[in-house]
Amino acid sequence: MEFALATLTLRVDELARRVGIRVDAWEVEGLGPARGAALRLASGRPMLLQELQFPIETGASSGPDVWVDATDLAALGVDDFLTEVMQALDVGRDAVDWVQNASVRNEAACRADWARAYRQARDRGLPLPDFPLSNSDIEPPIEPPAV
């Protein structure tokens, strides 16, 4: 499950020139045209740069959002993950317009646990769990039946 980590001040084309990544275009349902790139960091962790056209055109955003896997964010934490992203993109802290609050680590863990429980239930044809409001709302993972 993806989780917002930060918003950058540099446009996706500038980042692409800096580190030699290919920029793709797609449509985000309900949000319109987007451009960006999916990357794998040196650690192997995935990330997505997503620059939505509308916020850029209206001045609501100055650059792409950085999306990461909730499981990785919960394991690594905001600051360490952001450092890894900035190194991969060859940018400094001044290129960060917004960053997720460090206390979000627990929420990321909650979402990751829910996503695992959802996939297990879906794959087994069981009722799907509701999206949790906190870690205490998550049922433990479904154990496979004893054979």
Pairing of strands 65-69, 46-52: antiparallel
> CB neighbours of 125 closer than 8 A, spacing ≥ 6?
none
Residue 62 in tokens: 């100055």
Distance (Å) of CA 20 to CA 15, 24, 38, 65, 77 = 8, 13, 12, 18, 27
Q: Each residue of 58-87: pLDDT tens digit?
A: 999 999 999 999 889 988 999 999 999 999
Per-residue pLDDT tens over the stretch 109-139: 888 888 888 889 999 999 988 876 554 444 4
Going from the C-alpha of 52 to that of each of 31, 59, 96, 103, 130, the distances in angstroms are 7, 11, 17, 26, 29
How many Cβ atoms sit within 10 Å of the Cβ of residue 72?
21
CA distance 147 to 140: 20
Residue keyed to tokens 């084309």: 13
For the stretch 8-39, pLDDT in tens is 999 999 999 999 999 999 999 999 999 999 99
Burial of 51 (0-12, 13-18, 19+ CB in 10 A): buried
pTM equals 0.78
Other CB atoms within 10 Å distance of the CB of residue 103: 8
